[in-house]
Amino acid sequence: MIDTHAHLYDVHFQEDITLHIKEIQEEGVTEVWLPNCDLESWTDVKNLSTAYPDFVLPMIGLHPTYVKENYLEELAALKVELNRNKVVAIGEIGLDYYWDTAFAEHQMDAFKQQCHWALEKGLWVDIHCRKAYADLIKTFKLPEFKELRGIIHCFSGDAREAKVLTDLGFLLGIGGVITYKNTTLFQDIKDIPLSHIVLETDAPYLSPVPFRGKPNSPKNIPLIAQKLADLFEISLKELVQQTNQNANKLKAISGY
């Protein structure tokens, strides 16, 4: 199983990362893809991917909630690092209007710039979107981004948005939320072909049931996979084969 989005460099895992990676692998996880947040976190992402090159795959990008007054400086520094290092994707990038919209214009500028990085480098994008799906879709429909591909990480839109985004060629990242009792997530994705679904944990966030409220881990991917298999009424083996195939197609775009 491939975890397409986990912050394995987070402080929750740093005390004994070697043991934790061993436990993750024992649960059948073959790869963990690391989204970056800003210039500071890039050092940890790079170091971990260097230490475990066959298991940990790095992304690079400026997360929308980290876009502040100095975002142009951050982008410039990250662009230098992008030119120096091999990454699987540009991410996590996107739009987040949940907490406030004070930097909405700056977020959009950073988002578009980084989407162009992906196109220039032959990479895909890992997208964070919260309370901003209308602007996200509007942006992706611009002619300049018609070739862009990637994952809508932790998809939280509605059924219409799911269809529009997958019709545009994007995959939906599904994690622990699918196991929550009151979620409408499955109703929103049930008509989406499995060819547009990938697995993720977003560890240490969004732990699946029965670990909700505790730090999440990529070793919980089997719980998410089994829940999805049950909901789509297919075997776990079929679900894992399809989602791995989807993830590997994206990885091939980047030549990683």
Mean pLDDT of the 33-44 span:
97
Element (H, E) at 112: helix 104-121
Judge whether residue 100 has pLDDT over 90. Answer: no
Which band of pLDDT confidence, cut at 50, 70 and 90, is reported for residue 15? confident
Beta bridge partners of 31: 2
Residues 225 and 5: their CA atoms lie apart, in Å, by 14
Half-sphere exposure of 190 (CA within 13 A, CB side): 11
Mean pLDDT of the 81-110 span:
96
Which two three-digit tokens encode residue 195?
């060819």
Judge whether residue 14 has pLDDT over 90. Answer: no
Judge whether residue 12 has pLDDT over 90. Answer: no
Residues 39 and 98: their CA atoms lie apart, in Å, by 23
Mean pLDDT of the 39-62 span:
97
Residues 118 and 112: their CA atoms lie apart, in Å, by 10
- Give helix 39-51 / helix 71-84 axis angle, nearest 10°: 20
Q: Is 60 left (phi over 0), alpha (psi -120 to 50) or beta?
A: beta
User: Which amino acid belongs to residue 192?
Assistant: I
Instruction: Identify which of 16, 70, 78, 4 has the alpha carbon closest to the alpha carbon of residue 41.
Output: 78
> What percentage of the chain reaches a pLDDT higher than 90?
97
Residues 124 and 57: their CA atoms lie apart, in Å, by 13
User: Which amino acid belongs to residue 20?
Assistant: H
Span 167-192, pLDDT tens digits: 999 999 999 999 999 999 999 999 99
Span 200-249, pLDDT tens digits: 999 999 999 999 999 999 999 999 999 999 999 999 999 999 999 999 99
